[in-house]
Structure formats: structure tokens, C-alpha cells
Amino acid sequence: MRISRGWPLAAGLVLLAWLWMGPLPDLARRAFSPHMILHLAVAVVAAPMIVIGLLRLFPNIRAPRRLLLSALAVSAFEFAVVWGWHAPWMHEAAARWLPIFAVQQLTFLLAGMALWWVCLADRDRRGLVIGAGAMLFTSMHMAMLGVLLVLAPALIYAPQYCLGAFGLDPLADQQFGGGMMALFGTLPFVIGGSWLVWRLVGE
């Protein structure tokens, strides 16, 4: 019975293995929209599934003692990871060198897991408020970065690392990736934050 409760963990690990061992990593190093698909799938699909599965399997896992401080630190770390790896020179370094690409993907996963854990692990009223606030902040900065990419009038990244995918030219591909971030990078946190607020009101 307890093992069946951990299905989100198993599903998250299987998804992660498929993402990293499939064709996406090679595509992500040559075009922007595959990079964004990989990034979002790791950070806002696989990461929360793994965290939810762990919390279901081990309900006694505790949130950090200083929850507010931890939430601020984790939110800042996640912000730095997302915006840092999308700075042109960082993105291009990850595209050029496989070890840096591996570090990029690992930090996407760790930042996502840390954020979801801080937001979901504490079930009292204070924890719900802090978790909802962290998710709100994350949704805002993800939307902001996505919109900046959509509105960019020219390529932000070097052409050899932004070749275009799915029949799109490089600029349209960059804008498509930004649109995915603005929508799908924001929506999971809006849903998660709304669920926390609903629980708070219910209490």
C-alpha cells in the first residue's frame, strides 16, 4: 500500500531518465525551443513529481526549521539558476561543452526540487502562506523572462546554438521557447499556489 503511494516518484524518475537519455539533450544544445522543453519538463514536471512521491512515501519528512528564511533562499537560488543559465554566455557555454550542459540540467532539477519541497512540505497555516508566496514569486519571474524572450526583436544567442527547430527559423524558435516559458513555466506554480491558498481558506 505504501509503495503504491510513491507512484509519482517512480513516474518522475522514469520521465527524468527518458528526458536525459532521449533525443532532447542533443536538440537542446542546437536549438532554443527543445532546450526550453527539456528545462520545463525537468523543473516543473519531473521535479514536483519526485518531491510529491517522496512526501507521500515518507510523510514525516519535515520542512526546514526556519521556513521563511529557507523559502527566501531557495527562491533566490531558483531565480539565479533560471536567469543565470539563460544569460547568453552561460547558455552558449552549456551548448558548447557537455560537462557544463550536465551541470545546467542538474541545477535545473535541484532548484526545482528544493523549491517544491519548501512549498509543499509544511502543512500548517504559516507554511501554506509561505509556500504560496514562493510559488507566486516564481511564476512572476518565469513569466517575465518568457515575455522578454518573446519580445526580443533579434536573436539573443549565437546563431550556431539557436538554429531553429520544428520548421521554425531561429528567431521564431527563440520566441516560441519564450512563449513556452511564459505559459508552461508559470502555470504549474499558479496551480500549486492556488491549491495552497485553497487549503489555507479551507482551514
Q: What is the pLDDT of residues 148-159, one digit of tens each?
A: 999 988 988 887
Q: Name the residue range of residue 49's domain.
A: 2-202
State mean pLDDT over 118-128. 81
Q: What is the dihedral of CA 53, 58, 59, 62, to 10 degrees?
A: -100
Q: Yes or no: say if 186 and 139 are a contact pair by the CB < 8 Å rule.
A: yes
pTM above 0.85, yes or no: yes
Q: What is the pLDDT of residues 171-195, one digit of tens each?
A: 999 999 999 999 999 999 999 888 8
DSSP secondary structure letters along 89-145:
HHHHHHHH-HHHHHHHHHHHHHHHHHHHHHHHH--SHHHHHHHHHHHHHHHHHHHHH
Total of domains in the chain: 1
Q: What is the pLDDT of residues 62-108, one digit of tens each?
A: 767 788 888 899 999 999 999 999 999 999 999 999 999 999 999 99
Structure confidence at residue 27 (pLDDT): 92
Give the torsion sign (CA, 123, 129, 135, 139): positive
**Mean pLDDT of the residues in the chain:** 89
Question: Does pLDDT of 61 surpass 80?
Answer: no
